[in-house]
Structure 1
């Protein structure tokens, strides 16, 4: 009888310890799940922000490339006109001699 009572007491205290450990682990799990969800949300926001920034930079780059291409085209035309004007002046100088 005494052995049974001792055994019951030991099992009871062991059960209490395990239950407390279980409750602690359960609490940790909930905290980690909340933290995980928070980090997931933060990560998603970060990805969206990065994606928007990338799109903006690509748009700015494309615009700059277009502007530079326009500038190059205008400079080529201007160069052609200057060459033509130079030849005309040169011809006039030669014919004036």
Structure 2
């Protein structure tokens, strides 16, 4: 038996609900609240209409918000493994 295997950190596979519970939901809600204030301001500037700016901003925010959640749910070790190749490819 290899002695180093005794001291190696164990990788525990977490399910999606477990990963979601680990997110800082207060921070996520704060981001959403700030975005909603921005939508309200754009709605007001647009004369009570979502069309000029607020709709586009809401669509962009929704897409980036989903991307943010996906990035947050990926294991940190994967980002560490991709850091040097991404830096070299830059």
TM-score, normalised relative to structure 2 = 0.29
User: As a proportion of its length, which structure holds more helix?
Assistant: 1
Instruction: Give the number of the structure with larger relative contact order, counting CA–CA contacts within 8 Å between residues 6 or more apart.
Output: 2
Taking structure 1 as the reference length, the TM-score comes to 0.28
